[in-house]
Amino acid sequence: MSRKQIHLAAHFPGVNNTTVWADPRSGSQIDFASFAHLARTAERGKFDFFFLAEGLRLRELKGRIHDLDVVGRPESLTLLSALAAVTGRLGLAGTVNATFNEPYELARRLATLDHLSGGRAAWNVVTTSDAFTGENFRRGGYLDRADRYTRAAEFVRLSRELWGSWRPDAVLADQAAGRFVREGAVGTVQHEGEHFSIEGRFTLPRAPQGHPVIIQAGDSDEGREFAAATADVIFSRHGTLEEGKRFYADVKGRLAGHGREPHQLKIMPGVTYALGDTEAEAAENAATIRRQQVGPQTAIAFLEQVWGRDMSAFDPEGPLPDIEPDLDEGVSQGRVPIKDRAAVAAKWRALAEEKGLSIRELVIEVTGRQTFIGTPESVARQIDEHVQGDAADGFILVPHLTPGGLDDFVDRVVPLLQERGSFRSDYTGTTLREHLELA
């Protein structure tokens, strides 16, 4: 196949306002049936993997649980283990924090998932270091921001040592000779590092993939270096053509410095989409979804994150009030903080004035539209253009509805990608590494 092949993943809708829970079609965010439906849909569409995000502390707004969004989510690896039983080929990717876990324990759980699923496990290594989340895990103190990637790098290195410590042929199970493992085939791991110290043997034989797939989702310079040195896949925020190309060139350009080739790291931005039978209908559907995602109270909540003030007295359908942001006070916790709120507030004000937008219309405008909008033909063409043009190697699709949010994509867009010769019509391998064309 001469065309560059597209890689696709299905993100289970999460705890942010892009997930519309107040739609009559929305199902449970916690029933196994919801996860199974989305995973089976992704597998029907021959996707590379299913993806779960992680949040280790409930988000708060003004000291109260932020209950405008979905609140709470189950633990990834437990859930993925259950999904392994109802899927056969689909990769199973879980986000698990490297700051608040221990390598031996997590390496075991990931190796177990890889065994249970026949080689379909992936770990999205995240490094949240905020003290707010840390309060759930540590007695005082937490990892310095500067140290979180050194810890993550050591964590992954050590996990790989543990995963590789049994020789591939270690299990002999020779009944006649009465030997279960081959002499000398189960190695010891001795590690004395800055963050971890381990001496012992791993509890599991080598997993089907050898090493579960490593995904990375940080965006800072350290995050990109960590990905270039370590990751098999990057989950990025850069889904547009221009930003995508810039990010792609930046990260792929760092690989040589780590002795790696461009094809060894797949770049998959998280993206959203809206379909319609005509371009006009798709645009209308996109606008309807945006209004569902940014309801009146959500609009005020977004405004408060920038203004740092209680804005609940203002009408979300009315104009932006003439009030300056309070730059001292942070109201929202558990979200990535907004940098330079004064500049953001000034930009929002200028935009609202220029276009005559209400608070809600402004928030809809500034929090971004869907990445791909159009007929199935147009969306398939756009996706293919991004991949062939090196703005991505594929995408992590983030539907706005649970559990049926990917049904239309799989039924209407995937066949067109297959017709273009850019996406598999069936799985050719059994492991996630094979789907991703990784060694």
Ligand X SMILES: Cc1cc2nc3c(=O)[nH]c(=O)nc-3n(C[C@H](O)[C@H](O)[C@H](O)COP(=O)(O)O)c2cc1C
Alpha carbon distance 430, 426 (integer Å) = 11
- The smaller minimum CB distance to ligand X, of residues 55 and 316, is found at 55
The one among 127, 159, 209, 332 contacting ligand X by CB under 6 A: 127
Of the candidates 216, 210, 189, which has an alpha carbon nearest to the alpha carbon of residue 200?
A: 189
Cα 322 to the center of its chain, rounded Å:
38
- The smaller minimum CB distance to ligand X, of residues 41 and 128, is found at 128
Residue showing tokens 């809206």:
274
Size of the site for ligand X (CB under 6 A): 16
Alpha carbon distance 285, 163 (integer Å) = 47
Shortest separation between residue 369's beta carbon and ligand X, angstroms: 17
Interface segment toward ligand X; rule CB under 6 A; list 107-115, 126-134, 244-252, 285-293: 126-134
- The smaller minimum CB distance to ligand X, of residues 227 and 373, is found at 227
- Interface of this chain with ligand X, residues 77 to 116, rule: CB under 6 A: 95, 97
| Pairing verdict, β 332-333 and 60-61 | antiparallel
Interface segment toward ligand X; rule CB under 6 A; list 122-130, 163-171, 197-205, 402-410: 122-130
Q: Is 124 helix (H, G, I), strand (E, B) or coil?
A: strand
x/- letters, 11..50, toward ligand X (CB under 6 A): ----------------------------------------
Shortest separation between residue 151's beta carbon and ligand X, angstroms: 12
Which pair of structure tokens corresponds to residue 81? Answer: 């283990």
x/- letters, 278..317, toward ligand X (CB under 6 A): ----------------------------------------
Alpha carbon distance 372, 395 (integer Å) = 11
Helix segments in 46-127, DSSP class H: 76-84, 103-117
Interface segment toward ligand X; rule CB under 6 A; list 125-133, 299-307, 341-349, 401-409: 125-133
Shortest separation between residue 387's beta carbon and ligand X, angstroms: 18
Which pair of structure tokens corresponds to residue 75? Answer: 């633990």
Shortest separation between residue 53's beta carbon and ligand X, angstroms: 3
Shortest separation between residue 29's beta carbon and ligand X, angstroms: 15
Spatial contact of 297 and 316, defined as CB atoms under 8 Å apart: yes
Instruction: Name the helix (H) or strand (E) containing 353.
Output: helix 341-355
Q: Is 123 helix (H, G, I), strand (E, B) or coil?
A: strand
Interface segment toward ligand X; rule CB under 6 A; list 121-129, 174-182, 244-252, 272-280: 121-129
Q: Is 54 in the site for ligand X (CB under 6 A)?
A: yes
Interface segment toward ligand X; rule CB under 6 A; list 4-12, 83-91, 124-132, 173-181: 124-132
Residues facing residue 17 across a β-bridge: none
- The smaller minimum CB distance to ligand X, of residues 34 and 127, is found at 127
Shortest separation between residue 357's beta carbon and ligand X, angstroms: 27
Which pair of structure tokens corresponds to residue 108? Answer: 């075991």
Name the CA dihedral angle for 43, 47, 52, 53, rounded to a multiple of 10 degrees: -160
Shortest separation between residue 152's beta carbon and ligand X, angstroms: 9
Interface segment toward ligand X; rule CB under 6 A; list 120-128, 256-264, 323-331, 337-345: 120-128
Shortest separation between residue 314's beta carbon and ligand X, angstroms: 31
The one among 87, 117, 128, 209 contacting ligand X by CB under 6 A: 128
Angle at the Cα of 224 from the Cα atoms of 221 and 229, rounded to 5 degrees: 125
Cα 251 to the center of its chain, rounded Å:
17
Q: Which amino acid is at 415?
A: P
- The smaller minimum CB distance to ligand X, of residues 148 and 252, is found at 148
- Interface of this chain with ligand X, residues 208 to 267, rule: CB under 6 A: 217-220, 222-223, 235, 237
Which pair of structure tokens corresponds to residue 388? Answer: 């062939």
Alpha carbon distance 70, 343 (integer Å) = 30
Alpha carbon distance 425, 415 (integer Å) = 8
Shortest separation between residue 238's beta carbon and ligand X, angstroms: 9
Shortest separation between residue 299's beta carbon and ligand X, angstroms: 23
Residues 6+ apart with CB under 8 A from 226: 149, 152, 153, 216, 218
Q: What is the 3-state secondary structure (H, E, C) of 47-89?
A: CCEEEECCCCCCCEECCEECCCCCCCCCCHHHHHHHHHCCCCC
- Interface of this chain with ligand X, residues 393 to 432, rule: CB under 6 A: none
Q: Which residues bind ligand X (CB under 6 A)?
A: 53-54, 95, 97, 126-128, 217-220, 222-223, 235, 237, 270
